[in-house]
Amino acid sequence: MKMNPWTLSVLLLLAGPLGADPDWHVEYPDSFCVVEGSTATIPCSFTHPAGLRVQRVVWCPNHEICHGTTPNVYDSSKVRADSRFLYLGDLVGNCTLKIIKTVKRDAATYRFRFKTNAGGFTGPRGVRVRVTDGEDVKVRSSITDNVVKEGGQVTLTCTSACSFHQLDVHWYRNGHVLSETGPALHLSSLTNDNTGNYTCSLDSGGQNTSAPWSLLVLVAEGKPESGSDWLLPVSVVSVLLAVFLLLLAGLVFAKRRHAQKKASEVIQKQEVDCKQEAEGASEEVNYSTVHFKPSSSRSAPGPEHEIVYSEVVR
Ligand SMILES: *[C@@H]1O[C@H](CO)[C@@H](O)[C@H](O)[C@H]1NC(C)=O
Ligand SMILES: *[C@@H]1O[C@H](CO)[C@@H](O)[C@H](O)[C@H]1NC(C)=O
Ligand SMILES: *[C@@H]1O[C@H](CO)[C@@H](O)[C@H](O)[C@H]1NC(C)=O
């Protein structure tokens, strides 16, 4: 921005004694983040030389000097009905500004100006207000999955693109508000009662609420209260298993006996077959022997005939 000396002097006059004089000062954060729909309380304080009286205080967006008729969001000299911008400060040294149910278009750099009976001053840097989506609100947990053993612990954190200075955080389990507030919820000595869906919200109305985060507390086995839960299924299963094993054993036994019987029959039959084959083979051998060795076969028929005779005789 190019300025001529006249403009510069006017600016200096309007802005008051800059920098050098510590008596004139406005203190506020450089930036402030707020989730859409929630309430922002921007801390602010100011000082001026002793003996002066503050006559007018003004907050205005996106203006270096914030003087005169500059559009503003708060002006102590005017009554403004139905404003979401509330001045929580005073005319002495507190210039805290509250923005109720922030909307996207509230994002701006706001400056505070106060006018005394002997000149005024505007905090030069201003506070840059960022407004982020309500969808940004999330529950983060200190564990990787959603299952914790009984007696264990977990810390839940309510996070968003904003850091939560000056913001109320409310916690809910299954939609019911918990007594704990603040960005972190520490749960320890967990019992089954802690199982449920956890959400957090950035305002007491619960309008901008996070997606649910579900916690399952695993009750340790062998505990009396859990005994009846698994005893019945386990006993039913063991009875069924025993019956099945008995049936199986019976079946195997029967099959074995059957197989043994069959096997002995087969063996007997095989023995019979073998005998028959052996007899057939010997006949063949005998025949070939007879056929190819007529000289030796001559003596052979003798005993054979004898046997046949003896059989016939018998
Ligand atoms: C947050 O709250 C505001 C105001 O009630 C509402 O307009 C906005 O839709 C909410 N955002 C979410 C993500 O619920
Ligand atoms: C300024 O006023 C607000 C709202 O009343 C209060 O919360 C805050 O503590 C005050 N700040 C100082 C520095 O006194
Ligand atoms: C928690 O959320 C899950 C899924 O969103 C749902 O199935 C379950 O019923 C909820 N539990 C309770 C206690 O509301």
What pLDDT band is residue 305 in, cutting at 50, 70 and 90?
very low
Ligand 1 atom 14: the closest Cα is on which residue? 208
Ordered strands of the 97-99 beta sheet: 40-42, 97-99, 85-87
With a 6 Å cutoff on the Cβ, whether 89 touches ligand 1 is no
**Tell me, what's the pLDDT at 193?**
94
Higher pLDDT, 10 or 88: 88
Could you give the dihedral angle defined by the CA atoms of residues 197, 175, 135 and 153, in that order, rounded to the nearest 10 degrees?
-40
Predicted confidence band of residue 44 (pLDDT cuts 50, 70, 90): very high
CA distance 273 to 228: 66
* Closest ligand to Cα 199: 3
Q: What is the pLDDT of residue 233?
A: 62
Question: In terms of pTM, does the model score above 0.85?
Answer: no
Domains of the chain, earliest start first: 15-132 (2.60.40.10), 138-220 (2.60.40.10)
How much is the average pLDDT of 69-81? 90
Q: What is the C-alpha to C-alpha distance for residues 90 and 215, in angstroms, rounded to an integer?
A: 46
Q: Using a 6 Å CB cutoff, which residues line ligand 2? A: 45, 88-89, 94, 96
Number of CB atoms found within 10 A of residue 54's CB: 18
Residues 6+ apart with CB under 8 A from 152: 188, 190, 217
Residue 4 has pLDDT above 60, yes or no: no
Indicate whether 302 pLDDT > 60.
no
The model's pLDDT over 140-150, given as tens digits with 9 standing for 90+, comes to 999 988 999 99
| Average pLDDT rounded to a whole number, residues 171-196 | 92
